[in-house]
Amino acid sequence: MTATVHHRTCPLCEATCGLEIEVADGAVRRIRGDRDDVFSHGFICPKGSTLKQLHDDPDRLRRPLVRRDGVHVEVSWEDAFAEVERLLVPLRERHGADSVALYLGNPNAHTIAGAVFGRPLIQALGTKNLYSASTVDQMPRHVSSGFLYGNPGAMPVPDLDRTDYLLMLGADPLESNGSLCTAPDFPGRLAAIRARGGRVVVVDPRRSRSAEAADEHLSIRPGTDALWLCALAHAVLDAGTAGPGSHLDGLVSGLDALPAALAPFSPEAVADHCGIDAGTTRRVAAELADGRRAAVYTRIGTHTAAFGTLSSWAGDVLTLVTGNLDRAGGMMWATPCHGRPPVPGRPPGGRGFRTGRWGSRVSGRPEVRSELPVAVLAEEIETPGEGKVRALVTVAGNPARSTPDSARLERALADLDAMVSVDIYLNETTRHADVILPPPSALEKSHFDFAFYGLSVRNVANWSAPVFPAEGPGEHEILARLALIVAGQGAAADPEVIYGLIGAQLAQQATSQEGGPLAGRDPDELLAEVAHEPVPERFIDLMVRSGPYGDQFGAVPGGLSMERLRAAPHGVDLGPLEPRAAEVLRTTSGTIELDRPEVLDDLRRLAAVLDEEPADGVVLVGRRHLRSNNSWMHNLEVLVKGRPRCTLLVHPEDAERLGLTDGAEAVVRSAVGEVTAPVEVTDRMRPGVVSLPHGWGHDASGTRLEVAARHAGVNSNMLTDGSVLDPLSGNCALNAIPVELAPAP
Ligand code: SF4
């Protein structure tokens, strides 16, 4: 049979690589990088080609499961939706909207359904108990952008292709392929910086692969990134070379507050805490401030800490005071093709950003972006009283492995009155569900990177068609039907109701943008023009046509539209990042605000750390691996075969002192739990720091993960303490966890 070739974007991580997929006899024959992709130019990592194995995985759920007498059995889609209605509707009527919690996992950022249909489900549930993976790994970045720019979605990214100096903390893109920074072939882009005479400096307590590929590796004590970044900013101010640059004239406020706020953090004061001598700190500060194009990229290791928001804030402030914010080669904002178009002459600013509009019921943790910290989910389920969480809906999430103190959360999940999960696997979380609704495989749905075009190091647009037809309802239909059920419309309600609401909302937004290119147009006219498109493409068409590169429904001939995206299987290149600070600012002052009281208060909390002796015990950090994707791709033999990867990395000095030997097992104890893991002795670790990867621990009963169970590993979140959070963001402190080690008996 003749093979057909399909081109699509890989949906597995943030790098958005183009893939070339050869299909014959109804099966994938080969997957390789698409050399003509306008962004990735043929780059692919080992995970990219496993879309075939993922699609073919016999353990992947194809039909819904309902729990009957403690056993999950296959049922029809209609029976499954009827069961959801039977479980959730009376419970919600009896106990109120907050009795049903929602948890959205990381893969929602990688799907059209997650981007467009998550909101109607959230609105229909109307619950304060909204949780997501954001408070596991990225909320500090949102909050620092909220405080600085008034816009928690405006996260600047390093302009990798033009920078001459990249300072990278808590990031290992040679393993992760980038995070909150969309850059296919991140390794190649780093190599290109060095090849054009630039410099890459990696700061990490482990000599990671990214550190080995850099010009310089600085080993820092875990949990002290905020101190060190503040010290760098302090040194820049000290040297008298600070300044945001004339391009930000009139767009910065609170600069005068910085010297006093950063005064406690001299390079000398933080040196012992961070483990980096003052001379090195001053030298790096001078390199950043010497006029070259420089970017400061702080990522997950710095954000998943007790001062995560301050780390993110200080990284951006450092970029700003060295003149590198919103400048080519510095830190810049992408212009997503589905976002709002700029309005010439519109003054910068907006409604500002605040948190804490409500608090969690049990411990009063403040809301952030309408979410509560996932670390409080267990106590909200366990604690009796009005507003207790009695039911949980999860969408593409495995909080039983991804969130802190997960043994406690698993006990709580087992106590729920009802649980409904949208997931392709019967995993450690969904084994507690009463109903599991499996969306199509990645090859059975279309793709468009709503989330990552806003975090991209180059502006691009790429829509992918499904390779195979879906066996069941699309993910968007599943979410729409769930929304209708909890809204009381019944299991048989027509999802077109939700589609109509989404379309009307988008058309209204496009035509009501004051001074915008579609201002004053009739929303129904726009809807009529996209009505021929199927769902969800109808909504992509609406957004890109009214977006910054759009055809504005005929007003800009040749502009972006679904039609143009369909005709461009390798994507559309929209050019390098452009300065746009004034467009992204949503602070009430219309400026970048450096003196937000919440941040200044937290700087005082950080300064108090300097009054204490540097801790001298062993601490635990996480790590990434190129062949892992959090917890959910360990069921593919091709990715887990070979040497076990879930090992405890220990420095030789620590191993000798603690009696640990390479290949033997160690007991690791924290304040909340204990695991036993094989030891790997390596001088890659900083002495006093050990590392376990996350997402493992696949030995639970009642799952259907045959391959993963054979490579179970241990769950590092048995050790993470749910009570230690970054107070500004509610993010878990997954790094710098004090632990005790001993040889396993
Ligand atoms: S780097 Fe990410 S997007 Fe690219 S092939 Fe690998 S998993 Fe897919």
Ligand 1 atom showing the smallest separation from residue 186 Cα? 1
677-689 pLDDT, tens digit per residue, is 999 999 999 999 9
Same domain? For 571 and 634 the reply is no
Please name the residue whose Cα sits nearest to atom 8 of ligand 1. 48
pLDDT band at 719 (very low <50, low <70, confident <90, very high): very high
- Domain membership of residue 74 (yes or no) is yes
Same domain? For 390 and 321 the reply is no
CA of 194 to the centre of ligand 1 (A): 23
Buried b (16+ CB within 10 A) or exposed e, 489-519: bebebebeebbeebbeebbebbbeeeebbbe
pLDDT tops 80 at residue 18: yes
Q: Which of 689, 713, 708, 711 is nearest to 622 (CA)?
A: 689
Same domain? For 196 and 106 the reply is no
- The C-alpha atoms of residue 594 and residue 591 are separated, in whole angstroms, by 9
- Domain membership of residue 354 (yes or no) is no
Please name the residue whose Cα sits nearest to atom 2 of ligand 1. 13
Same domain? For 656 and 625 the reply is yes
Same domain? For 248 and 300 the reply is yes
Mean pLDDT (whole number) for 117-123: 97
Residue 9 is part of a domain; what is its CATH number?
A: 2.20.25.90
CA of 15 to the centre of ligand 1 (A): 6
Please name the residue whose Cα sits nearest to atom 4 of ligand 1. 17
Same domain? For 728 and 688 the reply is yes
Ligand 1 atom showing the smallest separation from residue 15 Cα? 3
Same domain? For 620 and 704 the reply is yes
Mean pLDDT (whole number) for 317-335: 98
Mean pLDDT (whole number) for 368-373: 98
Q: How far is CA 562 from CA 233, 356, 461, 531, in A?
A: 45, 39, 10, 12
Same domain? For 15 and 113 the reply is no
- Domain membership of residue 18 (yes or no) is yes
Pocket-testing residue among 8, 13, 630, ligand 1, by greatest number of atoms within 8 A of Cβ: 13
457-489 pLDDT, tens digit per residue, is 999 999 999 999 998 999 999 999 999 999 999
Task: Give residue ranges with CB within 6 A of ligand 1.
Answer: 10, 12-13, 15-17, 44-45, 47-48, 177, 184
Please name the residue whose Cα sits nearest to atom 5 of ligand 1. 48
- Domain membership of residue 350 (yes or no) is no
CA of 19 to the centre of ligand 1 (A): 9
Ligand 1 atom showing the smallest separation from residue 49 Cα? 5
Burial class (CB in 10 A: 0-12, 13-18, 19+), 384: exposed
Same domain? For 162 and 268 the reply is yes
pLDDT more than 70, % of the chain: 100
Ligand 1 atom showing the smallest separation from residue 45 Cα? 6
- The C-alpha atoms of residue 517 and residue 553 are separated, in whole angstroms, by 10
Tokens linked to 596: 């937000």
Pocket-testing residue among 35, 44, 447, 633, ligand 1, by greatest number of atoms within 8 A of Cβ: 44
- Domain membership of residue 339 (yes or no) is no
pLDDT tops 70 at residue 293: yes
| DSSP string for residues in 373-401 | -GGGHHHHHHS-STT---EEEEES--HHH
Same domain? For 147 and 280 the reply is yes
Ligand 1 atom showing the smallest separation from residue 629 Cα? 7
CA of 603 to the centre of ligand 1 (A): 37
Mean pLDDT (whole number) for 44-54: 97
The radius of gyration of the chain from alpha carbons, rounded to an integer in Å, stands at 25
Ligand 1 atom showing the smallest separation from residue 12 Cα? 7
pLDDT band at 241 (very low <50, low <70, confident <90, very high): confident
52-84 pLDDT, tens digit per residue, is 999 999 999 999 999 999 999 999 999 999 999
**Strand 618-621 vs strand 648-650: parallel, antiparallel, or unpaired?**
unpaired
CA of 47 to the centre of ligand 1 (A): 6
612-630 pLDDT, tens digit per residue, is 998 889 999 999 999 998 8
Tokens linked to 724: 């230690």
CA of 458 to the centre of ligand 1 (A): 17
CA of 375 to the centre of ligand 1 (A): 29
pLDDT tops 90 at residue 2: no
- The C-alpha atoms of residue 634 and residue 8 are separated, in whole angstroms, by 23
Residue 147 is part of a domain; what is its CATH number?
A: 3.40.228.10
pLDDT of residue 1: 66
pLDDT of residue 615: 80
Total of domains in the chain: 4
- Domain membership of residue 673 (yes or no) is yes
pLDDT of residue 299: 96
- Domain membership of residue 558 (yes or no) is no
- Domain membership of residue 656 (yes or no) is yes
Q: Which domain holds residue 8?
A: 4-56
Same domain? For 571 and 602 the reply is no
Residue 731 is part of a domain; what is its CATH number?
A: 2.40.40.20
Same domain? For 102 and 154 the reply is no
CA of 695 to the centre of ligand 1 (A): 18
| DSSP string for residues in 528-570 | HHHTTSPTTHHHHHHHHHTSTTB-GGGTSTT-B-HHHHHT-TT
Tokens linked to 449: 């990177």
- The total number of residues written for the chain in this structure: 745
CA of 716 to the centre of ligand 1 (A): 24
Pocket-testing residue among 177, 190, 457, 639, ligand 1, by greatest number of atoms within 8 A of Cβ: 177
What is the chain's mean pLDDT, rounded?
A: 97
Residue 450 is part of a domain; what is its CATH number?
A: 3.40.50.740
pTM score of the predicted model: 0.97
Pocket-testing residue among 45, 627, 629, ligand 1, by greatest number of atoms within 8 A of Cβ: 45
